[in-house]
Amino acid sequence: MNTLLKKALLLGGIFFIICIFFMSLLVFFVSRDLPDVDTISTYVPAETTKIFAADGTSIADLHQEENRIYIPLSKISPNIQKTVIAVEDTDFYSHHGVNIKGIFRAFFKDILTMSFDQGGSTLTQQLARNIFLNKHKSITRKLREILLAIQIERKYTKNEIFEMYLNQVYWGHNAYGIESASQLYFGKHAEELSLPEAALIVGLLKGPELFSPFKSYENAKARQKVVLGRMQRVGLITKEEARLAYEEKLDLAPRQRHRFKAPYFTSYIVEKLIQLYGEDATFTSGMKVYTTLDYKLQLIAADTVKKYREDSLRRGNTAHYSQAAILAIEPQTGYVKVMQGGVDFDESQFNRCIQAKRQPGSTFKPFVYLAALEKGFSPGSIINDSPISFNLGNGNTYSPQNFTKSFLGPITLRKALQESVNVVAIKLTNIVGPHNVVRIAHELGIESELRAVLSLPLGANEVNMLELTSAYGVLANNGFRVEPTCILRIEDRNGVPIYQHAIREKQVVEPKYISALVDMMKDVVTYGSGRAAKLPRPMAGKTGTTSDYRDAWFIGFVPQLVCATWVGNDNNTKMNKVTGGSIPANMWRDFMKYALENIPPEDFKRNTDLIERKINSKTGLVATDVSPSQDITVEKYWKGSEPTREDSTVPSQLIPASPTPNKNNQDEILDFFQMH
């Protein structure tokens, strides 16, 4: 018996030595290519880029697979810290990276089941696995995990390891790190989590998708109960505290319908970030992007667009339009305050504020009138609204028509703009030259290619809403151009500024011409085609309706804000007689009532170079006792060009002296005198 025992001990010793030998060889080979744990200090995990509105509201979290917001341990609720320790690694603060009892317990269970399903990993081992290793279960990977954990414990303090773990671990639904998880499930910061909330979130570590409260609240509560029971057994909470925590009703954060708030605006920001920094940095670098968006006003814009569309549908869609957009810009800064690029982002992500190129209709006319003012015309200058044909060459002629299919006869420039008279605008384009109208439009901010044709004032060229609204901003800003922007500043993940927007003004038109034009455009909303947009404060604007009612616009402004509204169909089909003075003007008014409710009324800067005269609006002559009372009005003229003859003589001031006749201009001059 003693001999058998000796042989058994001898064989056991040999087997043990062989095991130690092979284990040593395995450790040697495994340890040769272990990652350097020193790199953890320089390891930069993928972190979520956050986008904020001007008031600090978070409107987007950008991430690829890993939605992570890194925070220090001091910003993590003690409830979370003690719950994680209780459930995942009770001896965390006493071991040196490896829990020997846990490893052997897991090892023997694996031997019995002939699998590698058991854990037994400390928090340090889990950190090593998450950062350096894959999740494929094997003895080799387990050994590498143990060796790395021991090295990590030698290099870093327990609190440093715990902080890295809590920011690294996966909590479900692409939420990596406790801050992202806290905001995802409860809409609050990790430092605010209560015991019941902490127990539910920590319970997810066992199976983030299986125990997700969004997928199965019952499963999540069952797992929460297990976690609270574990905390009770290790003495962290009492039985009564566990019961109360389990019974407390939890308010989960609502799941977002889409990834972003203000999705049209935010998607535009994302595109800009990708252009600046590339896709990888945009979604993984943890930047903080501060934008110009007025989030409360953005919600009003979204509601306004939706309301008008729903009203139309309730009436059987008699207007026959399917899309609408609102864009608002601060003229002095160029800050885009609102960008509602469609009725519903979930139905269509196409952004009609920036991606759609549409004909602007008569919203282009102010550029024509501005060119005319620069050439010496006054608001009181008279043009004859009468039929005319232009020889375009090759036997082709162009005979423009008014929207009403009728003509008003002699009319002041002010009245022609007020009533959006097509023929007068085209005659003006011919007199000042289409190339000058194109020049003005480009100087004000239109970037799209413009063909210098006579039909310019009718919106013959396609533009996008952003450039058109920005160009109107020059009118609101007394001739000074400020490039539109949506981004104020960008910081890296550490709060270091990497981009800061600078406002740069450039005077592109003399203020006196802007003042004269704005004075005329004020009458568009007081007496003319934009009356439906009128607010009880100084404002100016212009309607636009394209041929066959394919587009309808209203662009209006006060000194502090310029806003454009548009309705139409993406497939460019006709609407049912929708004009810029109808739905767009009403939509503009409803939106701007909210936008301006805390902004005191302010008038536009006035030009001292204009002088007033009481005239006969049909002749352009100084009104006298013989002038018909219905034709008498007060008009404004550049000094030196004001009428001097009285209403009993032949008018000689019908055509300003400054414009130089060009092709077809001779016919225009004859037209003035043939009417008398």
Active site residues: 88, 362
Q: How many CB atoms lie within 10 A of CB 646?
A: 15
DSSP string of 228-260?
HHHHHHTTSS-HHHHHHHHHSPP-PPPPPSSS-
At 438 the three-state DSSP class reads helix
Instruction: Find all residues with CB under 8 Å of 273, minimum gap 6, and list them.
Output: 49, 62, 282, 287, 289
At 665 the three-state DSSP class reads helix
- What single-letter DSSP state applies at residue 646? B
Q: Which residues of 38-75 are buried (b: 16+ CB within 10 A; e: fewer)?
A: eebeeeebbbbbbbbbbeebebbbbbeebbbbbbeeee
Q: Which of 308, 288, 229, 403 is nearest to 56 (CA)?
A: 288
Q: Which of 411, 407, 402, 408 is nearest to 382 (CA)?
A: 411
Is residue 569 within 8 Å of residue 322, measured between CB atoms?
yes
Alpha helices in 490-582 (DSSP H): 511-526
At position 643, the amino acid (one-letter code) is P
The helix or strand, by DSSP H or E, that contains position 615, with its residue range, turns out to be: strand 610-616
| C-alpha dihedral sign at 589, 591, 592, 598 | positive
How many Cα atoms sit within 13 Å of 294 on the Cβ side? 17
Burial class (CB in 10 A: 0-12, 13-18, 19+), 32: exposed
- What single-letter DSSP state applies at residue 623? P
The first and second tokens of residue 653, run together, are: 């001031």
Q: How many CB atoms lie within 10 A of CB 297?
A: 21
At position 8, the amino acid (one-letter code) is A
Q: Which of 176, 174, 122 is nearest to 150 (CA)?
A: 122
Is residue 501 within 8 Å of residue 492, measured between CB atoms?
no
Q: Which of 597, 535, 596, 601 is nearest to 330 (CA)?
A: 596
What's the N-to-C CA distance of the chain in angstroms? 142
Could you give the CA distance from residue 390 to residue 376 in angstroms, rounded to a whole number? 23
Could you give the CA distance from residue 120 to residue 118 in angstroms, rounded to a whole number? 6
